[in-house]
Amino acid sequence: MLDGKVALVTGGTRGIGLATARALAEAGATVVLTGRDEAKAKEAAAAAGAASGLALDVTDAKAVSTLVRGVAKEHGKLDIVVANAGIMEDALLGMIREELVDTTLSTNVAGTLHTVQAAARAMMRKKTGAIVVLASIVGEHGSAGQTVYAASKAAVANIARSAAKELGRSGIRVNAVAPGVIDTDLTSGLSEDAKAENIGKTPLGRLGTPEDVANAIRFLVSDDASFITGQVLGIDGGLVL
């Protein structure tokens, strides 16, 4: 399905990013995954069957640009980029600290933007490519106690919608996935009651797995999705927030 394609996944050391790196590698792509910590990135790359694991903090625009250019140069091209790196910290409105706003927006919004910009530059030469960014059901509908995260993920969805409009004529597709509640380290802080409440509101009656999201991303970056761009695909078991 992805034989001969070169793919980059940010934040690929665990959770959805790791499952995505594995799914793309299993489909035949040459995968480079990144993580903030080089040793963890290398370990994850070996576990996922990826070609390499590199250190990258997506808040550093210059580092993102240099790494993406380097990957494209080393492999001769870059076909697929998954801007997955992201953070989530809950805070009620009255408890929101400036630092939380800064770290969330610089990681989720600016980090995604840097990655999409660098990907577009690398893909422009061949006039083909597929980018997926990680939005969230929370960004589409809002969630009490998650105003900062929700705002950041609404921005991520609109990075996909806008970049898709700008890059379509260059043969580059940009889509977002909007997961519901997926069982990863990011959601490990949820109480059993909160998990049960979410499952109760989910028609498919369970939390999502990283593979549920990875499989949808693998479809979106494949040629099977060649006429799909600018979409925000819910992967949420039908969850109604």
Q: Among all residues, which ones are annotated catalytic?
A: 149
Q: In sequence order, what are the residues at sequence separation of 6 or more whose Cβ sits closer than 8 angstroms to the Cβ of residue 165?
A: 230
Decide whether 56 or 81 has the Cβ nearer to ligand NAD. 56
Decide whether 72 or 213 has the Cβ nearer to ligand NAD. 213
The nearest distance, CB 22 to ligand NAD, in angstroms, is: 13
The candidate with the shortest Cα–Cα distance to 217, out of 109, 134, 116, is 134
Output the DSSP codes for 109-121: IIHHHHHHHHHHH
Question: Which position has the token pair 């991520």?
Answer: 156
Q: In sequence order, what are the residues at sequence separation of 6 or more whose Cβ sits closer than 8 angstroms to the Cβ of residue 106?
A: 59
Decide whether 37 or 166 has the Cβ nearer to ligand NAD. 37
Q: Are 116 and 159 in contact (CB under 8 A)?
A: yes
Identify the sign of the CA torsion 163, 168, 173, 176. positive
The nearest distance, CB 164 to ligand NAD, in angstroms, is: 19
The nearest distance, CB 235 to ligand NAD, in angstroms, is: 9
**Which residues lie near ligand NAD (CB under 6 A)?**
10-11, 13-17, 35-36, 56-59, 84-88, 107, 111, 134, 136, 179, 181-182, 184-187
The nearest distance, CB 92 to ligand NAD, in angstroms, is: 19
Decide whether 56 or 154 has the Cβ nearer to ligand NAD. 56
